Amino acid sequence: MDRREAMLRELNLHPLWVRRHAPEPMPSVAAAVAEEPSAEIQPPSSDVLQSRADAALRVEAEVGDLFVAEPYGLRDSGEDSLREFQLKIAGGPLADVAWPELRQKVRDCALCALRAGCTQTVFGVGDEQADWLFVGEAPGEEEDASGEPFVGQAGRLLDNVLTSIKLKRGDNVYIANVIKCRPEEDRHPHVGEIAACLPYLKRQIELVKPKIIVALGKTAASALLDTDATIAALRGGVHDYNGIPLIVTYHPAYLLRSPMEKAKVWQDLCLAVATLQKT
């Protein structure tokens, strides 16, 4: 078995199967629309408008309650407050913090409501001077119990991914999440929670000084690149994070639900390896 075949087997991408017959072409959207009878567009009713207004108020109330007032004086999650908060953290309390103090700050953090609802914080794990940094979204149930990122089923898949490019956890690899506390029921973190936790990750990056970053999933990619672009739009290229090349790929948890996307992750990893070899 050659090296390429071994790697494809590790990612469950071998053997490859080819369709005998191509699927029948789908009718065009224009043709389908042309067959539909035209209908007059009616304005929404007053009940629908009221329902939308109530939903907007609920969202506003939820976002407004994301932060507590102490210890950094953050009063709400408005755009100005978030920007001021991030600048204050970036140039202040975390600027010269070393590993032990940073861990303690994460353990003691109460900037959002997540800390009160989780078992413990999940700081990060691995070689603190690694060339490779892998960044995920947030801890899940098993990570919350163990205090280590990527230890569940998605973590085991990540270990296989690392093996496919001759890496392993803890050996020239550091693994962290954007969010250090488990969101209830493993929901996606809110924008305010990301803003509160992101300075800790940024300080970890400053301390590790990786030669390449792999963002696993949209939350990590959006947070580090400050973009709302989709994974599909961000994949396939080399991005820049403060002078460090950054590759975007799918989160292992997504691959568990969509195993056919593993081929794309393999492509992203090959790009990451080639990029690192050029540095």
pLDDT for the residue numbered 76:
42
Q: Where are the domains of the chain?
A: 60-278
Tell me the average confidence (pLDDT) per consecutive run of 10 residues in the chain, 279 residues long. Answer: 58 51 43 39 49 42 33 38 52 83 95 94 97 98 96 95 96 98 95 94 97 97 96 97 98 96 96 95
Give me the pLDDT at residue 195, please.
92
Question: Considering the domain 60-278 in this protein, what is its CATH number?
Answer: 3.40.470.10
Please give the pLDDT value at position 92. Answer: 60
- As a whole number of angstroms, the distance between CA 201 and CA 191 comes to 15
Rg (CA), the chain: 22
Residue 26, pLDDT score: 43
Residue 279 has which token pair? Answer: 């540095």
CA distance 141 to 253: 13
Give the global pTM.
Answer: 0.71
Please check whether residue 167 is in contact with residue 149, taking contact to mean a CB–CB distance below 8 angstroms.
no
